[in-house]
A = this chain, B = another copy of it.
Amino acid sequence: MPNPSNPAAETIESIGENASLKRTISRLNKGEHELVGPGDDAAVIAAPSGSFVVTTDTLVQDHDFKLEWSSGYDLGYKAVASNIADVAAMGAQPTVLVVAMVVPKTTLVSWLEAFADGLRDACETLAPGCAVVGGDLASGSQVVISVTAHGDLQGRQPVLRSGAQPGDVLAVAGTLGRAACGLDLLASGNADLVSAWDDWVNVQRRPQPPIAAGIAAGTVGATSMLDISDGLAKDASRIAAASGVHVVIEPMQLQGFEAILEGAAQALAASPQGKMTATEYEHKWVIGGGEDHGLLATFSPEATLPRGFKKIGQVVALGADQEPTVYLSDKPIDAGLGWDSVTGS
């Protein structure tokens, strides 16, 4: 926790921002891509194929996370995972990240060290060779974590959102709905449920995006791809809109994703905190939940799906005067709101 209850504990304020930054940086792994690492005005990074991929995202306390629900370690892990998922969604290999942190002056140095451990472990686990090569530490009223991630296409074309063709196969890599399930369990405030289904809570805290599958999709020539950060329905609608096609999701193909969440859904529905039926929870999580950071991609019907991808639907041509739409079987989904528009929640 950033706010110490032990007044003797070291804080950013007590040891200073420079020393805090040094202590943090010393815990990071050394990557394989830096020609000049941290410590100068800028780092120098190899880009052997003549280009690089770059994306940025920010996590804000009480908007994107709660310090009561996620440790410093969790947040470091998630900051890396959610950003390198965007790199992999271009079909690129994640190479280096820079991380800008704003924290209250009362933040414990041990919290920041755990954050650095999370950064390191996520790099080593999810994208070996990738590392944090630069950072910035400032003080402010709330925790803000701003990450910029980079990747290398290794000579391949980037996989955009706009290349899906009628007849293509729609496929997903990674898990669906587990992080959203974990979030509802945390939000219930029911410690027994959180403890019983901690696997799903941990996906919320430390997502495991399928980085290698994204690179493999780039290698076999996926026609479109994105990181599922806002839910299957909403992110599928982005491919539909960018590509000018309909996207049809087959509910049968989602049953496996729903079945694995059935126990948690039933327990939450039956608890005093339950707000909908177990089936409604399962649908909401799998169709509307995004923070697993799985990958949604389309492939030509002749392509062999890369390891880790599972077919969940197909791409269909627009009829005359039709707007790009996401269908669940033959029923349009209001993709702007995901499953929530159905239940009204």
Q: Which of A35, A42, A146 has the most CB of B within 10 A?
A: A42
Partner of A45, one of B51, B142, B227: B51
Q: Which residues of B contact A40 (CB under 8 A)?
A: 90, 158, 160-162, 226
Check A133 for interface membership: any CB of B closer than 8 A.
Answer: yes
Asked if B161 contacts A58 (CB within 8 A), the reply is no
Q: Which residue of B lies closest to A89 (CB)?
A: B41
Among listed A20-28, A96-104, A299-307, interface-contacting one: A96-104
C-alpha spacing A226/B135, complex, angstroms: 17
CB distance from A337 to the nearest CB of B (A): 13
Number of interface residues of A (CB under 8 A): 60
Which applies to chain A's interface (DSSP): helix, strand, loop or mixed? strand
Q: Which residues of B contact A52 (CB under 8 A)?
A: 44-45, 47, 52
Within 8 A of B (CB), among A1-46: 35-36, 39-46
Asked if A98 contacts B148 (CB within 8 A), the reply is yes
With A50-B48, A140-B142, A141-B142 in contact, is A42–B57 under 8 Å at CB? no
Q: A44-B54, A47-B51, A54-B148 are in contact. List 14 more A-B contacts (CB 8 A).
A: A40-B160, A41-B87, A41-B225, A42-B87, A42-B90, A45-B52, A54-B98, A56-B100, A56-B134, A56-B135, A63-B138, A63-B140, A141-B141, A141-B142
29 contacts between A and B (CB under 8 A): A39-B242, A40-B160, A40-B161, A40-B226, A41-B161, A41-B225, A42-B53, A42-B54, A42-B158, A43-B53, A43-B55, A45-B52, A45-B53, A45-B54, A46-B50, A46-B51, A47-B51, A54-B134, A55-B134, A56-B134, A56-B136, A56-B148, A60-B138, A63-B140, A100-B146, A102-B144, A140-B142, A144-B144, A148-B148
